[in-house]
Chain A
Amino acid sequence: MATVVDSSNPKSDFPIQYRELNYLNCTKGWKSWFFTLDHKRIGIMYLIGVTVAFFLGGLFAVLLRTELLSPEKMFLSADGYNQMFTLHGAIMTFLVIIPGVPAAIGNIILPVMLGAKDVAFPRMNLGSFYLWMAGAAFFLAALALGGLDTGWTFYTPYSVTTGTAVRTALLGVFILGFSSIFTGLNFIVTIHTMRPPGMTWFKMPLFLWALYATALIQVLATPVLGITGLLLIVEKTFEIGIFDPRLGGDPVLFQHFFWFYSHPAVYVMILPAMGVISEVIAVHSRKHIFGYRFIAYSSIAIAVFGFLVWGHHMFVSGQSKVVAVVFSAITFSVSIPSAIKVFNWLTTMYKGSIRFTTAMCYALAFLFIFSIGGLTGLFLATLATDIHLHDTYFVVAHFHYVMMGSSLVGLFAAVHHWWPKMTGKMFNEFWGRIACLGVFLGFNLTFFPQFLLGTRGMPRRYYTYLPEFQNLHVMSTCGAYLLGLSSALMAATLIYSVYRGKLAPANPWGGASLEWQCSSPPPHNNFDHPPLAGDPYVMESVVYNEEIGGYVPVECQGANKGSVTASGDNEA
């Protein structure tokens, strides 16, 4: 058991490591959770919700992959298969990846990183979680009311004519959009107004830059999705021609509206994960981040360029040739900031002292996977090759490399990096790393063969396929099983630690940003005194202390080793 430092011991110069009374247990009962205004508790509830949704979406994925073991029917009908891939996509996108890093991890960490007591609008924050639950309820209702078979993209006129629960699902998307806007708005205001003394914009941790850029997209793009969903509901209900050519509408207009949100939404999913990687690589390499300003500006650049590239989803949709050419050109511009980030992360590791903690292993997996995910985007931005690859498994592989292999692996890195802070417990690093290896291998085995399927001629969303594709499908399915089992192992390792894990010190990895200065887990108000912010990447400002089992500020180390006490049971 790690040594703990008691706040009641006035002789101790060490910061408080562990508090018996913390945000998790300062009040009790379900009401204290459901009506809490504490950003950390809201974040924990989000994390639980996102995890449940992740395993539901993952279950659908495993069922899909099982059906695809053979071109013949395994156990699903064609309609059942179509519903399954729709729900897999919709749940993973709207319920898992979009709220994953910002709403779950961001909620818990952002105010602590700022040395603040809470976000700017705590009630709006709780409201955002209620909206997420309401949106999730609508998705479940859609499932119960006959399912959904449009694909998560809801393309018209198919979605206007199908008999499945399109309206219920769209209302769910509409409500989830508000949840996302609330979180984004809250983060923008919090970052603008609640930075502590000494934290100028360019002294913010890069995770906050990433969340800020994400929040801008959430606030500016999500309303377009909301209104598009409403227009589709109106069209379906009152037969007013907007998107359906039968009624005088234009089906390609829907695609423009949909991707005007959904392309920037891709950056809502990846930017926060990039922010996580900036933190994790710096901390676990014990190095100052390299090229801080370029990473910060590249987050903003991605957010801005992200709004201008939606047409690259529509190169074969019938939009004009000139438009396609313009969108192709702008799309390349968005690849540069990503490349800048990757090179800066690599250079951060140079001459570091790299700890292969579970969080760092996920960050390294991220670098590998994101490189493939990012580079394969170039084939799809290029007009000539996209014509062949559009709507094939190549696209499926590409966006899973970015959305699953990068966004979700980034989320896994974040969960492991901040788990001691969130729960006050250390998880088992051995099993954590085994799970990480399983996720990495399972992921690549699932999705790399899909690039080949795509170039060789396998369209996406196919229930059955030509026999020559079976080998690659079997490989992909085996990978999916490994990925599923590894994710379950990861969850089991983490949940086990809550009950049996060692107590965590305040700063187990040696981070220099403010969240590592408050105890693990933080008390209700995060900090007793507003902390003073310095450069968040000067890793030399903390040193390892063996008695505590974690890092302490360099000025505390030295004469006071004897004053560390082993009890931590009272808190004023």
Chain B
Amino acid sequence: MQMKLFIPELLANTVAGFWFPSQGSTVAESVDSVYFFILWVCTFFFVLIVGLMLLFMVKYRHRPGVEAEKTVTHNLTLELSWSVIPTLLTIVMFWIGFTSYLDMRTPPAASYQIDVVAKKWVWAFKYPNGWIESELHIPLDENVTLTMASDDVIHSLWIPAFRTKMDVVPGRYTQEWFKAIPPSDEDGPVKYPLEYPLMCSEYCGTKHSEMVTKVVVHETRGDFDKWLQNAADIHKNKTPIEAGEYFYKSRGCILCHSLDGSIIKGPSFKGLFGSERTFADGTTGIANENYIRQSILEPQAKVVANFPPVMPTFKGQLTDQDITAIIRFIEAQK
């Protein structure tokens, strides 16, 4: 661990400004301007309060022989002025926060739709053509609306660069929209595709802090469509084992199933295929294609002894071809 002892460097933020990550969406600018308005008002009052406090501490410190001077104990004009002026300022804060909020929370009618399913501890972004990806790919300069649902507990989708966040609640749909903009090119030319972190901000259990992925912003709609087509053609472009490996890494299998024999939450994939499994009810079976397929679609049907029945189903999220690829990948883990 490298410790930098020089304070300004410690406080510096290499990827962004002093307070915020770079502005990646249309609302970021208005959110930041609301923030800085409040910051200036607060700085003024903080300096006023602490300044007066320090002044009084020095000027009216106890000195032998000097008693406190008797002053008036109330003054209506003063009381009203420090009640009314802050009230007026907070009304301004409320108003600019409110109008900016309405813009953030009202998805435009013409908007590219992406469905989101959150589950412990992985994101699934489903595109109109049916392709599911664990990273969020979007085109630049285009309205995007996410319609979000959760498979288990409450999650929250936060993209700091876009200044937007919404809880993902089981049992209901929530929505969030944004329009990515080009970042400022002060630090040299901007390289596409842009990447920003996207994270879960509502506590959701053991690997809450690993429920982090990225937003990939493509420069043009053409680039985005090309990426989407290419991604959806995974079975054309890759061998089944490569495709299986992709699903293993991107759909969350990797969070619970290791490849090196160690136990995370579920059994390791190493040497799994073809081995004999003992289940929680005492029965046994061979881990063949049908067993693996069933375990993906109905995970609670045959739970291996001594493992908790916690795996979520992937029904509707993987096609038959995808499952075949995963089986071939598991088979390759000798």
Q: Which residues of B contact A540 (CB under 8 A)?
A: 70
From B19, B172, B205, contact of A456 by CB (8 A): B19
Q: How many angstroms between the C-alpha atoms of A499 and B27 in the bound complex? A: 62
Give the contact stretch, choosing among A49-57, A123-131, A149-157, A547-555.
A149-157
Contact B201 A390 (CB under 8 A): yes
Q: Which residue of B lies closest to A328 (CB)?
A: B94
Contacts of A350 in B (CB 8 A): 56, 60, 71
CA–CA, A287 and B16, complex, Å: 49
Least Cβ distance of A269 to chain B in Å? 21
**Contacts A286-B67, A290-B73, A353-B66 given: A316-B167 contact, CB under 8 Å?**
yes
Interface residues of A in 247-306 (CB under 8 A from B): 250-252, 285-294
Q: A340-B83, A354-B61, A379-B35 are in contact. Are A387 and B70 (CB under 8 A)?
A: no
Q: Of all chain B residues, which has the CB nearest A339? A: B86
Min CB–CB distance A258 → chain B (angstroms): 13
Residues of B close to A386: CB separation below 8 A: 97
Q: Is the CB of B79 within 8 A of A250?
A: no
Partner of A82, one of B46, B153, B205: B205
Report chain B residues within 8 Å CB of A292: 73-74
**Distance between Cα atoms of A559 and B46 in the complex (Å):** 49
B91 at the interface (CB under 8 A from A): yes
Are the CB atoms of A371 and B68 closer together than 8 Å? no
**In angstroms, how far is the closest chain A Cβ from the Cβ of B255?**
11
* Chain A CB within 8 A of B98 CB: yes
Q: Is the CB of B98 within 8 A of A325?
A: yes
Residue B110 at the A interface, CB < 8 A?
no
Q: How far apart are the CA atoms of A292 and B79 in the complex, in Å?
A: 11
A316, B165: Cβ atoms closer than 8 Å: yes
Q: How far is the CB of B149 from chain A (nearest CB, A)?
A: 10
Q: Say whether A351 contacts B60, CB under 8 Å.
A: yes
Q: Tell yes or no: B128 within 8 A of A by CB.
A: no
Query: Which of the residues B27, B56, B87, B96 comes within 8 Å of A354, measured between beta carbons?
Result: B56
Shortest CB distance A360–B (Å):
9
- A-binding segment of B6-14, B181-189, B243-251, B278-286: B6-14
Residue of B nearest to A458 (CB): B160
Provide the residues of chain A in CB contact with B19, threshold 8 Å: 452, 455-456
Please name the residue on chain A nearest to B103 by beta carbon: A384
Chain A residues whose CB sits within 8 angstroms of the CB of B1 once the complex forms: 69-70, 470
Is the CB–CB distance between B165 and A384 below 8 Å? no
Check if B93 is an interface residue, CB within 8 A of chain A.
yes
Complex interface: stretch among B47-55, B139-147, B297-305: B47-55
Report if A317-B208 is in contact (Cβ < 8 Å); known contacts: A351-B68, A371-B45.
no
- Produce 1/0 per residue, B189-228, CB < 8 A to A: 0000000010111111111111010000000000000000
Q: Are A464 and B69 in contact (CB under 8 A)?
A: no
Q: How far is the CB of B265 from chain A (nearest CB, A)?
A: 11
Compute how far the CA of A364 lies from the CA of B18 in the bound complex, rounded to whole angstroms.
29
Smallest CB separation, A383 vs chain B (Å):
4
B167 in complex: contacting residue of A293, A318, A383, A472, CB < 8 Å: A318
Query: Is A75 an interface residue when CB atoms closer than 8 A count as contact?
Result: no
Report if A78 contacts B (CB, 8 A).
yes
Interface residues of A, count at CB 8 A = 96
Which stretch of A188-196, A329-337, A429-437 is in the interface?
Answer: A329-337
The reply to whether the CB of A496 lies closer than 8 angstroms to some CB of chain B is: no
User: Closest chain A residue to B57 by CB distance?
Assistant: A354
Contacts of B156 in A (CB 8 A): 316, 391
Answer whether residue A382 sits at the interface, using C-beta atoms and an 8 A cutoff. yes
Given B52, B87, B202, B207, which contacts A391 in the complex, CB threshold below 8 Å? B202
* Interface residue SS majority, chain A: helix
| B334 CB within 8 Å of chain A | no
Instruction: Give chain B residues whose Cβ lies under 8 Å from the Cβ of A285.
Output: 60, 68
Contact of A157 with B167 in the complex, beta carbons under 8 Å = no
B252 at the interface (CB under 8 A from A): no
The answer to whether A466 has its CB under 8 Å from any CB of chain B is yes
A536 CB → nearest B CB, Å: 12
Count of inter-chain pairs, beta carbons less than 8 A: 276
**Interface residue A201 (Cβ < 8 Å from any Cβ of B):** no
Closest-CB distance, B32 to chain A (whole angstroms)? 9
B15 within 8 A of A: yes
CB within 8 A of A461: which of B69, B170, B208? B208
**A294–B209 touching, CB < 8 Å:** no
Max chain A Cβ within 10 angstroms of own Cβ: one of B15, B105, B207, B208: B208
Set of chain B residues within 8 Å of A290, measured between Cβ atoms: 71, 73-75
B102 interfacial contact with A, CB 8 Å = yes
Is A392 an interface residue, CB under 8 A from the partner? yes
B200, closest chain A residue (CB)? A459
Question: Please, which residues of chain B bring their CB within 8 A of the CB of A375?
Answer: 42, 45-46
Q: What 0/1 readout, one digit per residue, does chain A (354-377) give for beta carbons within 8 Å of chain B?
A: 111000000010011001100110
Q: Select from chain B the residue with minimum beta-carbon distance to A353.
A: B68
Give chain A residues whose Cβ lies under 8 Å from the Cβ of B167.
316-318
Q: Give the complex CA separation of A371 and B79 in angstroms.
A: 18
Q: B324 within 8 Å of A by Cβ?
A: no
Q: Does A161 contact B (CB under 8 A)?
A: yes
Q: Assess whether B206 is in contact with A82, with CB atoms less than 8 Å apart.
A: yes
Is A491's beta carbon under 8 Å from chain B? no
**Chain B residues positioned under 8 Å from A353 (CB to CB):** 60-63, 66-68
B-contacting 9-mer, from A210-218, A230-238, A341-349, A516-524: A341-349
A474 in contact (CB, < 8 A): yes
The answer to whether B73 touches A464 (Cβ under 8 A) is no
Query: Which residues of A lie under 8 Å from residue B100 when comparing CB positions?
Result: 383-384
Which of A151, A324, A388 has the largest number of chain B CB atoms within 10 A?
A: A388
State A455–B199 Cα separation when bound (angstroms).
14
Instruction: For B16, list chain A residues within 8 Å (CB).
Output: 456
Is B101 within 8 A of A452, CB to CB? Answer: no
Inter-chain contacts of A347 with B (CB < 8 A): 78
A308 at the interface (CB under 8 A from B): no
Bound-state Cα–Cα, A452 to B18, Å: 8
B86 smallest CB distance to A (angstroms):
5
Residues of A near B86 (CB, < 8 A) are: 335-336, 339
A34 within 8 A of B: no
* 3 nearest A-B residue pairs (beta carbon): A245-B171, A457-B160, A382-B97
Some 29 contacts from A to B, beta carbons below 8 A apart, are: A149-B205, A155-B202, A157-B170, A158-B203, A158-B204, A246-B170, A246-B171, A251-B171, A288-B73, A290-B74, A291-B74, A316-B156, A318-B166, A324-B101, A339-B82, A340-B79, A340-B83, A354-B57, A367-B49, A367-B50, A371-B45, A371-B49, A372-B46, A379-B38, A382-B97, A385-B97, A452-B11, A464-B209, A468-B14
A positions within 8 Å CB-CB of B: 69-70, 78-79, 82, 149, 151, 155, 157-158, 161-162, 245-246, 250-252, 285-294, 316-318, 321, 324-325, 328-329, 332-333, 335-336, 339-340, 342-344, 346-347, 349-356, 364, 367-368, 371-372, 375-376, 378-379, 381-388, 390-392, 449, 452, 455-457, 459-466, 468, 470-472, 474-475, 537, 539-540
Given known contacts A161-B153, A354-B60, A471-B11, what 9 new A-B pairs fall within 8 Å (CB)?
A: A288-B70, A290-B75, A291-B73, A332-B91, A352-B56, A353-B68, A354-B57, A391-B202, A475-B10
* Interface residue ranges, B against A (CB under 8 Å): 1, 3-4, 10-11, 13-16, 18-21, 27, 30-31, 34-35, 38-39, 41-42, 45-46, 49-50, 52-53, 56-57, 60-63, 66-71, 73-75, 78-79, 82-83, 86-87, 90-91, 93-94, 96-98, 100-102, 104-105, 152-154, 156, 158, 160-161, 163-167, 169-172, 174, 197, 199-210, 212
